[in-house]
Chain A
Amino acid sequence: MTENVSPRRLRVIFAVFACATLVLSLRVGYWQTVGRAALLEGATDQVRSDLVLTAQRGAIRDRGGALLATTVPLRSLYAIPKRIGDRNALAAAAAKLAPFLGTTSDAVLGALDSGAEWLYLRRRLPEETAKAIEALGIAGLGFETEPKRLYPNDTVGAHVLGFVNDDGVGQYGVEGAYDAVLRGTPGRLLVERDPKDRDLAVGLRTARPPVDGTDLTLTIDLVVQNAAERELRAACEKERCASGSVVILDPRDGAIRALASWPAYDPAAVAKADPRALQDRAISWTYEPGSTMKAITIAAAIDQHVVAPNTTYEDKGYAVIGGRVLHNALGKAYGTSTVTQILEHSANAGAVFVGQKLGAERLHAYLEAFGFGAPTGIDLAAEASGDVRPVAEWYPVDLGTISFGQGIAATPLQLAAAYAAIANGGTLYRPYVVAARRDADGEHRTAPVAVRRPIAPETAATLRMMLTSTVDNGIANGAQIKGYSVAGKTGTAQIPSDDGRYLDDAYVSSFAGFAPANDPRFVAVIVLERPQSRLFGTVTAMSAFRNIAQDALRGERVQPDRP
């Protein structure tokens, strides 16, 4: 065959093939040596999948086990427009999807026609909506699951729970304070996959399992929390208050049974919330407590044995101290009155009398002993400390005003903790919200913390008796509950203005009390800011207390002590 081919041509053809072979050999050699790493990496990337395994965020339950917050994977709808079809198919799909997505078909079509190869149409759909869309059977649509924090009780407990933002980080409340405990630790899965994106059991597989978050059981009682929020909302709407708050705790150990703040918000829809509503006024807002502080002043004086429940004074309707005249509410004069009647009448002049007997140093010491001027230490974020000025900064008149609760700032929680010390026999407990944590190691219960004993048990018993008389015979009779003994005190405090004086005709109305008085099972503080009925806002506060107390006593199966 080659006899007709010239030798020169053969040499040329041979040279061409030799060169080609040489080039190919060099190329192969290159990819086997220098380029090996790149090829290997590309091959590895094709088959290997390095996934982060999401840890399940811990659930939050009330003391009875009712679910308050949990994380559930919800389906997010995605679309691959090319697989749906041509523009007519896209339009048809958009028309079918729009009602389920709560938008117009033009908006859906715009998203599908945006040129994206893959896009989310809606994330974290309600399950019913996802099922309905799946039933449409539209090609090119699919679902991926994404975690969503759900709160089955809607707005109830919103402030104590807090919420989780879009990045999965807890904000405010328990979600914020216990975020590190709730979030868990993500895991990792390094695995080889086949062309259908399925894990290969025979290939590389290294896994570090995720550590799920810890479940929390709160001290909150959902029934009492619901009652507190219901009554607070009703009171604030009736009085058209600027704000309101309710604190209910167990005086025996400081466990918080309910923490309510108004205005409220929905933790599942924080983006739509009024920013003012995010503040938990029960722990982050301070006010001048007013007459509810008279119980503290009198407790201090009795504990110091400078007065007794039957100690008398002459009530002229006013008292003079530090060159200033301090009047009773509405200027009323009560004549010869006992210390017990100071509470029954809520007489400012009587409080000044007791304060003067006690003295500024001792009053200040007892205020600090009862926890005022410092955070209680509750296991929630953003707690305010309140304000009790050092004695050295007191003017002579401050002894009088502070005796009846003006001139100091406190949170509703601080007041509740102080009243709890009176209710339980004299021990100040640190309030707490998380009763137990449950993780892989089991359940870990929170031990109550007794901070100090501000007053003796005898003093506490005496104050319980006096506060019971205040409800039975005095100004707080609106808090009476049929069948039960109730102890408590109302408060109507002026609101300080920016110029250091007090606003005219604007008050904070409150009630602090506990029941049954003989064996207190709960302490409640209700605070209403700027009620429309002004001086009579305490009537609404007492009504709220009464309704909450009935639910709380009923829920606890507390037997009437005055059948």
Chain B
Amino acid sequence: MIASQAVRAAAPRRVVHPRPRHTPRVSRPAARTAFEVRTFVGVSAAIAVAFLLAMLYLAQTTAVATLGYQAQHLQQVRDELRRQNALLEVEAARLDAPARIETEAAKIGLVRAAQIPVVQLEPITAKR
């Protein structure tokens, strides 16, 4: 072995970088606290977002259900109006019935016309 090879490698030179100015030295306990704060804020934000989303979903579901109730109520109103309309149509048909009109006419002393004169109209000739 060459003597030079037997020489132990020199210890690495420690390079000391000058500390930049205005950079405070941070200790280990403070870093942990910051991490915890960030974690807490993040989790709280996540919970808050989840809560808001849940509230939003609940609000929409409630709104849909409420609108559903309103729609059902309106359908009932519509159905009742249609029913009343149908009843009125039946009543109108009943009042228009020829048999009823004849009966009512007889009650007030009207009689059927024995003959109804028909007037024949001459065709009108267009003048030039």
A residues adjacent to B (C-beta < 8 A): 66-67, 70, 72-73, 127, 145, 150, 152-154, 156, 198-202, 222-223, 226-227, 229-230, 482-483, 554, 559-560, 563
Contacts and interface: CB of A to CB of B under 8 A. Distances in A.
B115 interface: yes
Contacts of B87: 72, 127
A150 B89 CA distance: 11
A73 B83 contact: yes
B83 A563 contact: no
B96 A66 contact: yes
Given A198-B72, A560-B118, A152 B65 contact: no
A226 B68 CA distance: 49
Contact of B67 (A127, A150, A201, A223): A201
B90 A201 contact: no
Contacts of B116: 554
B102 interface: yes
Contact of B98 (A70, A223, A559): A223
Given A67-B89, A150-B90, A154-B97, A559 B65 contact: no
Interface in B45-83: 61, 64-65, 67-69, 71-72, 83
B93 A66 contact: yes
B5 interface: no
A477 B69 CA distance: 73
B27 interface: no
A199 B72 contact: yes
Contacts of A202: 61, 64-65, 68
B38 interface: no
Interface of B: 61, 64-65, 67-69, 71-72, 83, 86-87, 89-94, 96-99, 102, 115-116, 118, 120
A73 B72 CA distance: 18
Contacts of B92: 67
A394 B37 CA distance: 119
A436 to B, nearest CB: 19
Decide if the interface of chain B is mainly helix, strand, loop or mixed.
helix
B121 to A, nearest CB: 10
A67 B69 contact: no
B58 to A, nearest CB: 11
B115 A482 contact: yes
A483 B117 CA distance: 9
B98 A200 contact: no
A198 B94 CA distance: 37
Nearest to B89: A67
A561 B39 CA distance: 106
Contacts of A199: 68, 72
Contacts of B71: 201
Most buried by A among B64, B71, B97, B98: B98
B83 A67 contact: no
Nearest to B61: A202
Nearest to B98: A226
B115 A154 contact: no
A410 to B, nearest CB: 30
B52 to A, nearest CB: 20
4 nearest A-B residue pairs (beta carbon): A201-B68, A152-B93, A67-B93, A226-B98
Contact of B120 (A72, A226, A559): A559
B68 A563 contact: no
A145 B67 contact: no
Nearest to B70: A201
